[in-house]
Copies of this chain bind each other. A is one copy, B any other.
Amino acid sequence: MQRGTEVRAVVLLSGGLDSATTLAWARARNYACYALTIDYGQRHRQEIKAASLVAERLGAHAHRIVPLDLSWIGGSALTDNTIPVPTKHQEGIIPVTYVPARNTLFLSLALGWAEVLDAHDLVIGVNAVDYSGYPDCRPEFVAAYERLANLATREGVEGRLFRIHTPLISMTKAQIIRTGIDLGVDYTPTLSCYAPLPTGRSCGHCDACRLRRQGFAEAGIEDPASLATPP
């Protein structure tokens, strides 16, 4: 959508490292960014506080935190507290932190909002390299969603097509971090942990913590969040 020179994009923002980088990417492309954070009953709801800080610091035009309880569906260590968050990574299987239909739902809320905002760019920080084996982070999922979006909506049917941007999809975690640093992202307020301690600090043991630690190590950068007081 163009109003004067303003082109709007809806950016999914969790409060983690990847989505912060994604928001910075979209800002660097001069999108007026409408950041969307979903409060889905996640175990690591502290990330929502992080998302607000990230949205503000990176200059989102607007930030919405929307409730969409998925705990009644459960079936994931992130939405069912009786399923423990694993501390060991198992190659080749979809981990129990997979949340059924999560990215499909998140993109669909983004799509509905975008249609009303007259925005045609949706931005999501999915990643298929250092990823945790989630089916809804793969390029084929994103391509299928984009196709669906343009069949599901008034905008799509009338030829004002939606595009799903996945700037991180083929980056390693270290590349994501370097990209973010180049774009001026301060990772201090971001939270990647699946099971933060009551103090707000990361557990240091889950898949998300492990990937983040490896990423910063590979990038040769100290993780500023590990030094700071949690948001």
Contacts and interface: CB of A to CB of B under 8 A. Distances in A.
A73 B103 contact: no
A156 B104 CA distance: 13
How many copies of this chain sit in the oligomeric assembly? Answer: 2
Contacts of A73: 109, 112-113, 116
A94 B154 contact: yes
Q: By DSSP majority rule, is chain A's interface helix, strand, loop, or mixed? A: helix
A22 B55 CA distance: 43
Contact of A151 (B64, B135, B153): B135
A109 B115 contact: no
Contacts of A216: none
A100 B72 CA distance: 24
B141 A144 contact: no
Interface in A145-186: 145, 147-149, 151-154, 156-158
